[in-house]
Copies of this chain bind each other. A is one copy, B any other.
């Protein structure tokens, strides 16, 4: 951390600021300019994280130069993490594709979806049994009944199950039926949920919050990893901007940023990220070309009948075409960038 002193800071101000730093068990390094004096703070990251200086007289501002997260950083571990989901690998050059309907509605719907996404080459079945909805009057999901249907359809088609968790009390219940816990955008900073998932022995798919910076997102992942669960998969799903043509603005550059800053695998959700089925395929291609480890895509056998998010669901034949393209692009990426 760097402490920038105000132009009119007195010698006494500077002395006291240095004293406060040293009292916190940290070292200072003073640098006096003609216009501005700065104090470099050196020492333990956690101590620096808790240091508050801005209220001191003569302090103009502080600038953090190191991130607070550690275990999830590329500095800490240089090689890509590969998350193993019962034999299916995510990260490290493996292509993970999670597909299925937004919400679980019936076994027929689910099985039909599962069969077509499996045939096209997906390796995970997605579907919501617990749905966090903006309005209390929207469809909230089938709960445990939905989980059972998910497990049954996935078993039938040899797919892994990924489904959303919205309440830490559901960990055991969902853990019985699912292979991956999905944490939605609205819960990215539900720290109690993250802490609870840190103690679990199953992978977690952590979606980026609606207006989370990459740094906040990695800090959220740090909560899970710091708890002992290293199997975190990140998922970019669009951020909130002023643009209204799309539901969200899918931030493909976050894939590149995460690859630089962290060793965790990252996939992309072009369905929520755009909110328009017409844009899913081109944005999925963009994600893979940028280096994403996979995709999570809404596919519905009859999207015009879907109970939620029909606007952004692909029909089976469009999904099949997308999978062809994606496999080819992944081969392109592997040729140029290897298996990591």
* A interface list, Cβ under 8 A from B: 2, 4, 7, 20, 29, 31-36, 38, 40, 42-43, 45-46, 49-50, 52-57, 61, 63, 65-66, 68-69, 75, 132-139, 166-169, 186-187, 189-192, 195, 210-211, 213-216, 219, 222-223, 226-227, 239-246, 249-253, 255-257, 259-260, 273-274, 276-279, 282-283, 285-291, 303-304, 306-311, 313, 325, 328-329, 332, 336
Contact = CB atoms under 8 A, between A and B. Distances in A.
A214 B251 CA distance: 16
A242 B257 contact: no
B310 A55 contact: yes
Contact of A46 (B43, B137, B242, B325): B137
A286 B252 contact: yes
Nearest to A258: B245
B166 A135 contact: no
Interface-central residue, A2, A132, A226, by most chain B CB under 10 Å:
A2
Contacts of A223: 136
B34 A31 contact: no
Interface-central residue, A43, A139, A273, A310, by most chain B CB under 10 Å:
A310
Contact of A135 (B49, B192, B255): B49
A246 B257 contact: yes
A148 to B, nearest CB: 21
A42 B33 contact: yes
Chain copies in complex: 4
Contacts of A226: 136-137
B66 A35 contact: yes
A138 to B, nearest CB: 6
21 contacts: A2-B63, A35-B45, A46-B137, A50-B307, A55-B306, A55-B310, A63-B63, A68-B134, A132-B189, A134-B189, A136-B191, A136-B195, A167-B168, A214-B243, A239-B243, A243-B251, A244-B244, A256-B279, A256-B283, A285-B289, A289-B329
Contacts of A251: 241, 243, 249
Nearest to A27: B33
Nearest to A68: B135
In the A-B complex, list the 4 residue pairs whose CB atoms are closest, starting with the nearest: A54-B311, A211-B211, A289-B289, A52-B310
B241 A253 contact: no
A302 to B, nearest CB: 9
Contact of A256 (B133, B213, B282): B282
A325 B49 CA distance: 35
Contact of A49 (B36, B138, B288, B309): B138
Contacts of A65: 2, 4, 36, 38, 61, 63
Contacts of A246: 253, 257
A91 to B, nearest CB: 16
Nearest to A261: B245
A219 B55 contact: no
